[in-house]
Amino acid sequence: MAGRITLHSILNLALVIVLFAVGWSIATSVVKLFFEAKGFGIHFDADTISLTLLSIVEYFFYKFYYADDKEATVAEN
Per the domain annotation, does 38 fall within a domain?
yes
pLDDT band at residue 66 using 50, 70 and 90 as cut-offs:
confident
Per the domain annotation, does 8 fall within a domain?
no
How much of the chain, in percent, has pLDDT values that exceed 70?
83
Region 32-56: mean pLDDT is 91
Q: What residues make up the domain containing 61?
A: 19-76
Per the domain annotation, does 23 fall within a domain?
yes
Per the domain annotation, does 3 fall within a domain?
no
Report d(CA 56, CA 51) in Å as an integer: 9
Domain count, the chain: 1
Per the domain annotation, does 12 fall within a domain?
no
Secondary element (H or E) of residue 3: helix 2-34
Per the domain annotation, does 9 fall within a domain?
no
What is the value of pTM for the model shown? 0.74
Region 32-59: mean pLDDT is 91
Report d(CA 60, CA 33) in Å as an integer: 23
